[in-house]
Amino acid sequence: MRRPAKRVTSADVARAAGVSAATVSYVLNDTPGQSIPAETRRRVLDAVKQLDYRPRGSARSLAAGRSDVVLLSIPHLSIGPGINRFVEQFAASLAHAGLTLVTHLAGAPGRPLPDVCAAIDASVVASLDPLDDETAQALRRAGADLVFTTEVEAHPTVLLMGRLQAEHLIDLGHRRIGYAMPEHPLLRKIADERLAGVAEACAHAGIDPPAALDTKLDSAAMARAARRWRRESVTAVCAYNDEVAIALLVGMRRAGLAAPGDLAVIGTDDIPLAQAADPPLTTIAFDLEKVGRSLADTVVANLSGRTPRLAPASLSPHIIHRSST
């Protein structure tokens, strides 16, 4: 078995530059109160580059008083485009401030969140699900300076998604609405809450509750669902998300049905394929990138000693009206 390469240390850099280990530390950490000659600084930085030296996270933590690691706990569910956009923007915004994002699937097999926090020496832990007091205290004991929940899919917002879908269809004159539930069991909780929002809008309009059906991302199964909705006099369907909605449009074609004449269809997320669907899909868009930037700003403000704003930015959900309704 090939032996791993020896890790380059600050002592190696010091020898290569002809300086002390303390001088290397002063240069790399830009230690206040230390006057390092320009030529010495240049030799140290040249040695760092030549040896491809990377300081250990633990050493940086000791020098800075904290690590540069932010731990994000996300629900153990099927990760869709919306959450992907949020995580990408959060990571990019943190990176711009010199911080590194690590994600953890809450509830998945493996080590609990406090153990992960201790293992990677995270300074900040943010969770998309509420944290109980015991877990929050364990995270602080594990070394996290800031522990908080940012509910990207907070309950009122999840309800609002379904309500906006149904209100759009009701405003178009539909009086019998269906709801396409997702197949994945890990999505059931959010789907049930969105369905509750659809039901609220139907009740407010004085029409029958939504006709909810479990669906699969399969054209034959979606064709059967579409025919059943038609038999039950449903004229419009709210889909859990755009993937489910697009699968329904495909199933409808297989069943000889068309949107919006036979069934109007609306999704959520405004994924790139939504506008390329046939017909283009009406959907709900929301600004998860904005939430990612806002959350990163909160983290950076706290670590910089400024007063953090722990409330996330609004998702600002809004209807994108296309041809499917």
CATH code for the domain in which residue 275 is found: 3.40.50.2300
**pLDDT score of 55:** 66
User: What is the pLDDT confidence band of residue 261, given thresholds at 50, 70 and 90?
Assistant: very high
Q: Are residues 149 and 159 in the same domain?
A: no
Chain segment 163-212, per-residue pLDDT in tens:
999 999 999 999 999 999 998 887 888 899 899 999 999 999 999 999 99
Residues 168 and 257 in one domain: yes
DSSP 282-299: BEEE--HHHHHHHHHHHH
Shared-domain flag, residues 164 and 76: no
Question: Are 124 and 299 spatial neighbours (Cβ–Cβ below 8 Å)?
Answer: yes
With respect to residue 299, please indicate whether it lies within any of the assigned structural domains.
Answer: yes
Kindly state whether residues 150 and 173 are assigned to the same domain: no
pLDDT tens per residue, range 212-252:
999 999 999 999 999 999 999 999 999 999 999 999 999 99
Note the pTM of the prediction, 2 decimals: 0.69
Residue 133 CA to residue 171 CA, distance in Å, equals 44
Q: Is residue 2 part of a domain?
A: no
Whether residue 43 is found in the same domain as residue 76: no
pLDDT 10s digits, 283-293: 998 877 788 88
Q: Is the dihedral of CA 45, 50, 51, 55 positive or negative?
A: positive
pLDDT tens digits, one per residue of 296-317: 888 888 888 776 565 555 667 8
Would 1 be classed as within a structural domain? no
185 with 91, same domain: the answer is no
276 and 302 belong to one structural domain? no
Is 58 a residue whose pLDDT tops 50? no
Q: Are residues 144 and 130 in the same domain?
A: yes
Whole domain around residue 30: which residue ranges?
10-55
Residues comprising the chain, all counted:
325
321 found inside a domain: no
The DSSP secondary structure of 153-194, one letter per residue, reads: T-HHHHHHHHHHHHHHHHHTT--SEEEEE-S-GGGHHHHHHH
Residue 203 and residue 124 share a domain: no
Higher pLDDT, 167 or 158: 167
* 42 in any annotated domain: yes
Instruction: Verify that 163 and 281 share a domain, yes or no.
Output: yes
Structural domains counted in the chain: 3
240 lies in the same domain as 279: yes
Q: Is residue 5 part of a domain?
A: no
For residue 63, being part of any structural domain is answered with no
**Regarding predicted confidence, which is higher, 144 or 154?**
144
Residue 69's φ and ψ, nearest 5 degrees, are -100, 130
User: Do 251 and 294 share a domain, yes or no?
Assistant: no
Give the pLDDT of residue 314.
Answer: 63
270 token code pair: 């405004």
Residue 64 lies in a domain: no
CA distance to 19, 43, 60, 304, per residue, from 27 (Å): 11, 10, 13, 22
**Amino acid at residue number 221:** A
Q: What is the domain-level CATH number for residue 25?
A: 1.10.260.40
